Amino acid sequence: MEAHTETTTQAGQILASATGGKRRAGDRIFSNAAVIASVTVLAILAGVAIFLLIKSAPAVTASASDLPDGKTLVDYIAPLAFGTVLAALIAVIVAVPLAVAVALFISHIAPRRIANTLAYIVDLLAAIPSIIYGLWGIFVLGPAIVPVLDWLAGNLDFIPLFKGPASVTGRTMLTVGLVLALMILPIVSAVAREVFAQTPRRLEEGALALGATRWEMIRMSVLPFGKSAVISGSMLGLGRALGETMAVTIILSVSGIVSFNLISQENPTPIAANIALKFPESSGLDVNALIASGLVLFGITLVVNMIARLIISRSNIQ
């Protein structure tokens, strides 16, 4: 009996002396730090929008005569936005079929043993800094593509895209679009590849059991299964292409015009390239105008990325 009372007191002491109710200091500090870090992340995202807005405001309220080129802000930004979207669209149109091909190659055609190595090689494309793409584009691809430009200008000039006259340096929208396509290819391909590789065996075997060829099986089972992955991957690639700066800045010979001619010396100027070219030497209201254009770019990429991520989350792709 006594022993029992003793242990009761001990238990009572142990449990009652626990900090209980009040959480221990270590827990509080740690979880608060974690929460603060997460809030900081959201704050940065909001902060980007806010600070850009603050610094754009003077340009929004200024009159055309004070702004660069003597245009109103809208007139100033619109052609830049056109340039951004045009370059990005070319990139996506070229990159997506290629990325799907690459993804299919790695997930269904190449031998398993080397599939991982191949994937790594393709992902290498994403690791290369954009300035290097810029140098390569202007010193290597540009000159190499001039014969193609000549051919296009000579034979397909009835299509407005290839009206010509062909650039002699190769510093055209077409070149830029191709380089951008190369840069976004790993992004689209990685997303597509993940999903293609995860096509349920029962879907694939169902097609094969009907006597389908490999391509037919891919068309019947793999591609439909990976459709939303390809779409969301393409949008991620689009977002990347919209925001790409250095490759475009170096390669493109810009004139700020609005034109669909992809092979000539005079090209639209994308927003990012415009900022990179003008910012270092600008001051005063010009800086505000540039920041305003950056805000527009931020908005466009934000929308594109949000749509892409929404598609991903709704279809539960990783």
191, 233 Cβ separation under 8 angstroms: yes
151 near another protein (CB under 8 A): no
Q: Quick one: 228 exposed, middle or buried, by C-beta within 10 A (0-12, 13-18, 19+)?
A: middle
61 near another protein (CB under 8 A): no
* Least distance in angstroms from the C-beta of 12 to another protein: 6
* Least distance in angstroms from the C-beta of 311 to another protein: 12
> CB under 8 A: which stretch of 50-58, 66-74, 152-160, 251-259 binds another protein?
50-58
Single residue of 142, 243, 269, 311 touching another protein by CB under 8 A: 243
144 near another protein (CB under 8 A): yes
Rg of the chain over all Cα atoms, to the nearest angstrom: 28
130 near another protein (CB under 8 A): yes
Q: Which is nearer to another protein, 8 or 160 (CB)?
A: 8
> CB under 8 A: which stretch of 60-68, 70-78, 120-128, 158-166 binds another protein?
120-128
Single residue of 69, 70, 97, 227 touching another protein by CB under 8 A: 97
Place of tokens 């019947």: 220
Single residue of 33, 60, 93, 114 touching another protein by CB under 8 A: 33
Residues 167-196 that bind another protein (CB under 8 A): 182, 185, 189
- Greatest alpha-carbon pair distance for the chain in Å reads 108
Neighbouring residues of 144: CB distance < 8 A, sequence distance ≥ 6: 170
* Least distance in angstroms from the C-beta of 164 to another protein: 20
Q: Which is nearer to another protein, 136 or 225 (CB)?
A: 136
Single residue of 59, 77, 91, 122 touching another protein by CB under 8 A: 122
Residues 273-312 that bind another protein (CB under 8 A): 275-276, 279-280, 283-284, 287, 290-291, 294, 297-298, 301-302, 304-306, 308-309
Of 81, 100, 78, give the one whose Cα is nearest residue 89: 81
> CB under 8 A: which stretch of 158-166, 195-203, 210-218, 251-259 binds another protein?
210-218
129 near another protein (CB under 8 A): yes
Q: Which is nearer to another protein, 100 or 173 (CB)?
A: 100
Place of tokens 């391509």: 215
Residue 308, SS3 per DSSP: helix
Residues 72-91 that bind another protein (CB under 8 A): none
Spatial separation of the C-alpha atoms in residues 215 and 133, rounded to whole Å:
34
208 near another protein (CB under 8 A): yes
Single residue of 73, 77, 221, 244 touching another protein by CB under 8 A: 244
Spatial separation of the C-alpha atoms in residues 125 and 156, rounded to whole Å:
32
Peptide bond into 143 cis (omega under 30): no
Of 298, 301, 249, 295, give the one whose Cα is nearest residue 59: 295
100, 192 Cβ separation under 8 angstroms: yes
Buried b (16+ CB within 10 A) or exposed e, 191-211: bbbbbbeebeeeebeebbeee
